[in-house]
Structure 1
């Protein structure tokens, strides 16, 4: 099973994030959009894990002391890949988020899990495989607060040949 840790959002927040996808689509973005149910913010990618490792990961999740109950989304960005780009919504500087991610990666390392060496760049993926030439700096993005629903251990699965993310376990962050 392929596992990762993420911040999740409630349905209303996901619908609000869809408005940015619609704005980008009308601005010329031609990539494959992230399905509404799959919108999340990755904290740490684990990869393939055994049942025993999954139980360790659940314990790590439940022992986290850091919280992050809200984010400010405020800009667009892209990671350039071979022939396309991944378009994302950026997060304003957030000490609680960075503390949570640092605590999580420290706990993962302590339990023998590999973590990514590159600098953590918090983002919400909106499109994959975009080959258009839309200049993201010209797309008007209004800063917006979004509530975080939970910190979750997620599993990547395929349902009807479509990628889906299933919550394995979660710790709720907001009461809204």
Structure 2
């Protein structure tokens, strides 16, 4: 199934992300349930769990083509490769009341992917995040209490690609729509589907 097109003439709120397969999402959802029992708050729904690589924000439909070109450039880079991300930490941030799953060590291919994305985005005149990249998956929002960062049973996430996703805010939360997917071993922009599309968080 092809990705859903963005509404013509309407700005899209978009970001690049890693999207887990069903097994990894289930493990993350189970960890989220444990954290919720401890902290309360609002859980991220299983089908919307993801790891943001680069948040873009609102862009015009005309600029979506530039973002797809960025994805194609990064995917076609000779350094692009599959890798495994090990999520083995549970922690929280007091300032925004988020509880997250993170990694003690960021794999070099993931750090390289983020660096290449930010470089291509900056070259295309998109604003990029200046803070050091800290890979994490949001498990809870509006947590009632915080948790001390601690080790948890590792979740090994095989990563073989990344996606460009649109976030649409509705009365029931965020609705995510995959605009394009890039997979390892395929040409830039090929293999796109709507994995994670039509879900609310």
**Within-5 A mapping of 1:16-165:** 16-26=27-37, 28-64=38-74, 65=77, 66-81=80-95, 85-91=97-103, 92-137=105-150, 141-148=152-159, 150-158=161-169, 161-165=172-176
Q: Deviations over 1:8-63 (max 9, x none)?
A: 1112221111110122123x111111111111110001000011211000111122
- Normalised by the size of structure 1, how large is the TM-score? 0.88
Q: Distance in 2 between matches of 1:10 and 1:124?
A: 14
- Match 2:20 to one of 9, 18, 43: 9
Instruction: Kindly indicate whether residue 182 of structure 2 is the aligned counterpart of residue 168 of structure 1.
Output: no
Asked whether the equivalents of residues 74 and 144 of structure 1 are also in contact (C-alpha less than 8 Å), the reply is: yes
Residue aligning to 2:8: none
Q: How many equivalent pairs are there?
A: 169
Q: Distance in 1 between matches of 2:142 and 2:160?
A: 28
Asked whether the equivalents of residues 31 and 130 of structure 1 are also in contact (C-alpha less than 8 Å), the reply is: yes
Gaps of 5+ in 2: 1-11, 186-201
Residue 131 of structure 1 deviates from its aligned partner by 1.8
Kindly report structure 1 stretches of 4+ aligned residues shifted beyond 6 Å.
Answer: none
- Normalised by the size of structure 2, how large is the TM-score? 0.77
Asked whether the equivalents of residues 8 and 149 of structure 1 are also in contact (C-alpha less than 8 Å), the reply is: no
Residue 133 of structure 1 deviates from its aligned partner by 4.4
Q: Distance in 2 between matches of 1:31 and 1:114?
A: 31
